[in-house]
Amino acid sequence: MTREQIFEIIEKDDGSNIWSHLYDVFMFAIIILSVVPLMFWDYHPLFAYIEIFTTTIFIIDYILRWVTADYKLGKGQHSFVSYPYSTWAIIDLLSILPSFQILCSQFKILRTLRMLKILRLVKALRYSSQIFILFDVLRKERKVLSAVLFFAIAYIFVTALVMFNFEPRINPNTGQETFHSFFDALYWSTVTLTTVGYGDLCPVTDLGRLISMFSSLFGVAIIALPSGIITASYLDELRSLKKEIKLNTSESDVAKAE
């Protein structure tokens, strides 16, 4: 198998290569399997074998992407030097390094990097074309979404400031503290704006409850606004992609007919 064929298999599946699709499914399954030990408090001997197996696959994948970097980056021999400093290569490396505490007990310092294994879930983004479409949507709508985010942050800050200054620190009914610090007020304002409202912090005055009601109402509007923008833009992106695929297919059929 040539390096070019390896590159076509390990790169993101575009639907034209069945082996590439199978490789993406396999790597996605390996990524999910690799984070299974993080879901348990107790250690099981099976986890060590899972770690060794999945880490070996990740290392092989990293090496294959490195040796075919010239096809991806298009910089000739310089591609092999610059690839380890690319974003995906760094994520791959950071997700591999913590596993060396199992493969080699001398790497004890890497135990502090155990949670970096969660980066393996980020690796899964590489194998989903829909995620990249969503990223394109967020990039195109970044100005509108940034404006909505700024408005939401400003509203959270103002609401928290008002609540912190008007609510008593001690609940007169229970004698317990309400908003011990401004951070508590920010926390309350955030969970109220997102209409979650855990109930662990609640206003006790009539003014505070009135502010809480308005905050919940505004929260529905603020959360719904970016959702609508992203959904509409995402559907437009899918339509454009389908038109592009149909156009390429038609051009391919015409070329074959000629």
Q: In this predicted model, what pLDDT tens digit does every residue of 99-111 receive, in sequence order?
A: 765 545 544 444 4
pLDDT confidence of residue 245: 65
More confident residue, 17 or 73: 73
Choose among 35, 240, 48, 211: nearest CA to 133. Answer: 240
What length is written for the chain?
A: 258
For residue range 170-184, what is the model confidence (pLDDT) as tens digits?
666 665 667 778 888
Q: What domains are defined for the chain? A: 3-127 (1.20.120), 140-257 (1.10.287.70)
Give the separation between CA 85 and CA 75, rounded to whole angstroms.
Answer: 14
CB 158 within 8 A of CB 182: no
pTM of the predicted model over 0.75: no
